[in-house]
Amino acid sequence: MIPVEKNKEYVACIDSVSSDGNGVAHIDGFAVFVPQTVDGDKIKMLVVKVQKNFAYGKALEITEPSDKRCEPMCQHYKRCGGCQIRHIKYDAQLDIKRDIVENAMQRIGKFENFKVDGIVGMDVPERYRNKMVFPVGNVYGKNVCGFYAMRSHDIIPLDDCSLGDEINREINDAVIDYMNENNVSAYDEKSHKGIVRRVFTRKSFSANEIMVVVSVNAKLISKLRKVSDRIVSIVLNINTKRNNLVLTEENVILWGKDRISDTLCGVKFDISPQSFFQVNPVQTEKLYSKALEYADIDENTSVMDIYCGIGTISLCAAKNAKSVVGVEIVERAIEDAKENAVKNGIENAIFYADSAENIVPKLIEKGERPDVVILDPPRKGSDESTLTAIIKAQPKRVVYVSCNPATLARDARVLNDNGYTITATTAFDLFPHTSHVETVCLMKKKY
């Protein structure tokens, strides 16, 4: 029998934090997930949803706050869905993320007594994002930039976010001022009418340059150029999108460069509006350095980088490797990878635009035998065909870069059962104040 009822109040103690950042309370052994709480909190809560095996609650009052709790440095935190754990002290956030990785590896991967060797956090866990997207809309008759409220498309008006560069405030103000001065309408998702849909900015940390992508006519250029000489690119984004499906999309350079550049591990990357590039370059460099350390590459090492994106890890590895093969399903990303290879004078890297499950088995069947395989899959993890091909190739090392501890644990178990042993694991906090955690795991072939 379920011991809680919907719309009833309960007193509880939060005893842990889940992988999605919710506090977890137990009522007679029954789990209740409560957002914006942390272990050690004593709370009064309202149960808002009941499922067969768990429920969701809403904290009505923190009667005794945990010593891990802090005052969120954002007035919009309780409504915005961007930062799930900003109410938790940063050191405690790192402990939680390390626990998330260890729990997944033990519970899903069945690795007994698994421990992460360490977690790498940020010295200053603010202003770390190089990409920000601010939806534009009309709220109570006013044009606004902001973020979507948690689990909705209702825009919370705000002119800045402490995760991005402070210049975003001035850029957003310039866009809204222009709209008001020229009677330009905001896009409405219900009627599919209006002009300005979002403001999207990219920042190069190494060059301190800004690209602005905005859906509006070209008269806005002069106003944006006056914001700062750091703005070196203004792009018009034109798309038709309904029900979250992009039907057509085009980027038109209105002024300045068609891309900006940033540097990772000594390699320069050109970044276009649509390029995938890790949003926290400070932590990404630390993560890639650890991945390359685990790979232990020298001039005799052949490397296969699966899910290579625009070739960030591939090209960093190629500086010291004999050869590198990169695989990525997104054709535009592979074009970027090839262009970045040429611009960096790297000639020992080959890239294939195809799905991993299709091309990797074919490459292995043709005799490709990498000494090191680097896996950096999306959240869904790798797949049976790719893992089977890797196992057939028998590389000496597999370096798995993961953004999802659950799929890392699943895939690591497959590799472990087929001849590979985990010898080192380091977690990285690329997204402070959120529940996300990155992990680099080294698996060596058993001899």
SS3 (DSSP) at 311: coil
C-alpha 72/C-alpha 82 separation (Å) is 13
Element (H, E) at 292: helix 281-295
Q: What are the E-state strand segments in 217-266?
A: 231-242, 245-256, 260-264
Q: Tell me the pairing of strands 42-50 and 9-17.
A: antiparallel
Tokens read off for 203: 């920042």
**265 tagged catalytic:** no
Minimal CA–CA distance to 118: which of 429, 447, 385, 434?
429
**Strand-by-strand arrangement of the 349-353 sheet:** 118-120, 420-428, 438-445, 397-402, 372-375, 302-306, 323-328, 349-353
Q: Note whether 385 and 361 are within 8 A (CB).
A: yes
* Catalytic choice (74, 83, 161, 403): 403
C-alpha 239/C-alpha 244 separation (Å) is 11
Residue 218 is classified by DSSP as G
C-alpha 370/C-alpha 302 separation (Å) is 5
Non-local (6+) Cβ contacts of 377 within 8 A are 306, 307, 356, 402, 407, 411
C-alpha 144/C-alpha 294 separation (Å) is 47
> For residue 324, which amino acid is it?
V
C-alpha 408/C-alpha 109 separation (Å) is 8
Minimal CA–CA distance to 188: which of 124, 233, 143?
143
How far, in Å, are 18, 21, 82, 83, 312 from residue 436 at the CA level?
A: 11, 9, 11, 10, 21
Residue 69 is classified by DSSP as B
Cα angle: 263, vertex 267, 270; to 5 degrees: 60
Tokens read off for 269: 């990357």
For residue 269, report the phi and psi dihedrals to the nearest 5 degrees: -120, 130
Catalytic residues: 403
